[in-house]
Amino acid sequence: MAHPVPRAVPHVPTMSPRCPHDVPAVSSGLYPSAEAFQADLHSMWFGLYSRSSGKALDSSGFEHVFHGEVKKGSVSGCHNWVQLQALERAGRLEYLGYTWDGPWTAFPDVLSLQFRWDGHSKPRGSLLVGSSPEFDLALFTLCFLARPDRQCHISLGGEAATIQTYTWDKQRLVASAYPLTP
């Protein structure tokens, strides 16, 4: 049975199962139907795996990339500027430094940063600034499908950018996806 992407995930118009001709993965023949694509999308982003040495199924690609995780006292993931902005507004984020390769003439920009989240350190991370979560999800999915466990070279607003993706234990589960900084 196909599982729709949870309503908590912003709607990605080009991934709508209602318009299968608008889903490039379907129209290109990569998937037999929009429902099959939605099921794979759900599995790759929301399939659970263990980041705690097998003790529990405690993580997913979506949680890692878009929310972030605190494991063994350090922050991992958290590659989404909307999440960082929410943490900052709540007084839970302390920036320790950043670099960026902009300003670009078009959004999004790529940002590298260090921060503390509730006192837990993220020594280095990167994210796209100015993009929507829908855009990030679509871009990271494209790169995950096209170049799993490798660098995906793209152009954003006419600027060269690279997205790194990782699978979980060589399975079709997103472990991480984020932009590399120059």
CA dist 127 and 26 (Å) reads: 28
Residue with tokens 């759900």: 42
Q: Alpha helix (H) ranges present in 56-176?
A: 61-62, 81-89, 133-146
- Cα–Cα distances in angstroms (integers) from residue 178 to residues 20, 57, 61, in the given order: 27, 22, 11
Q: Which whole number is the average pLDDT over 155-176?
A: 93
Q: Which of 21, 42, 55, 64 is catalytic?
A: 64
Verify whether residue 3 is a known catalytic residue: no
Verify whether residue 122 is a known catalytic residue: yes
Q: Which of 79, 120, 153, 170 is catalytic?
A: 79
Can you give the residue ranges of every domain in the chain? 68-180
Verify whether residue 79 is a known catalytic residue: yes
pLDDT band at 26 (very low <50, low <70, confident <90, very high): confident
Contacts of 113 (CB under 8 A, 6+ apart): 95, 96, 97, 98, 99, 122, 124, 125, 126, 127
pLDDT in tens, 34-85: 899 999 999 999 999 999 887 899 999 999 999 999 988 999 999 999 999 9
